[in-house]
């Protein structure tokens, strides 16, 4: 891990990358992950949970969303917080599954070369227990340029992260505080440079408990 942003900037410049401000490090991390994954674009966020939440908001999702009974607790929670209803089904999965009927992929436990599933909003997780073990982070893989623009503003309170808040006169929409800090992106880059092309899935239906019987989900 880099000692600080300045040391990260100096080392990345030595490697031939153009780094003018801290957000260039986030941009570089996004570019590297997109290239590795096989997507045109990548948008860094503070978690996979928030990545999927923003995808649902972007698609104006409503109604029922089908997910596996055996999954991480935050998935039905984010579905409820987005205004939708989780429907639990018997689904065997490893690495990835779809938030059906929407083209949103929960890819929290898969990280390998060319993993991107075309024509989806494919969400990744970075965590100390995952394949790319930065403290906490997420990413959306997509080929949708319009979505990328929306996600970038949505993750940073509806504004460009390079704008000083004192220069903001108005907003097109209200966003959220879900961006990945440059420090996390720098850590991710440091680890990514040593990542393998193929990695076994770190989770699936065999690693999670059935959460469909939780009372809180039955009453929501």
pTM of this prediction? 0.94
Q: What is d(CA 44, CA 155) in angstroms, rounded to the nearest whole number?
A: 9
| pLDDT single digits (tens) 180-216 | 999 999 999 999 999 999 999 999 999 999 999 999 9
**Predicted confidence band of residue 59 (pLDDT cuts 50, 70, 90):** very high
* CA atoms 20, 26, 31, 36: torsion sign: positive
Kindly list the distances between the CA atom of residue 12 and the CA atoms of 29, 90, 165, 173, 198, in Å, as whole numbers in the listed order: 11, 46, 28, 34, 25
Return the bridge partners of 43, or none: 140
Distance between CA atoms of 187 and 189, rounded to whole angstroms? 5
Q: Where are the domains of the chain?
A: 22-218
pLDDT, tens digit, for every residue of 107-166? 999 999 999 999 999 999 999 889 999 989 999 999 999 999 999 999 999 998 887 877
User: Do 23 and 43 meet the contact criterion of CB atoms below 8 Å apart?
Assistant: no
In the CATH scheme, what is the code of domain 22-218?
Answer: 3.40.640.10
């Amino acid at each position: 891990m880099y000692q600080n942003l300045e040391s990260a900037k100096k080392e990345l410049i030595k490697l031939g990358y153009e780094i003018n401000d801290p957000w260039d490090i986030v941009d570089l991390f996004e570019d590297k992950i997109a290239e590795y994954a096989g997507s045109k674009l990548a948008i860094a966020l503070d978690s996979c949970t928030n990545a999927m939440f923003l995808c649902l908001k972007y698609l104006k999702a409503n109604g029922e969303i089908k997910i596996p009974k055996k999954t991480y607790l935050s998935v039905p929670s984010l579905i409820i917080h987005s205004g939708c209803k989780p429907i639990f089904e018997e689904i065997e999965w490893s690495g990835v599954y779809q938030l059906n009927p929407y083209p949103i992929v929960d890819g929290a436990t898969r990280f390998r070369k060319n993993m991107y599933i075309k024509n989806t909003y494919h969400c990744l997780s970075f965590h100390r227990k995952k394949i790319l073990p930065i403290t906490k982070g997420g990413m959306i893989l997509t080929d949708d340029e319009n979505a990328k623009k929306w996600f970038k503003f949505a993750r940073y309170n509806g504004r460009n992260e390079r704008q000083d808040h004192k220069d903001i006169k108005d907003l097109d929409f209200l966003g959220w505080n879900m961006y990945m800090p440059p420090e996390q992106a720098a850590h991710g880059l440091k680890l990514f440079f040593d990542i393998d092309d193929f990695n076994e899935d770190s989770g699936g239906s065999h690693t999670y408990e059935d959460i469909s019987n939780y009372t809180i989900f039955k009453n929501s």
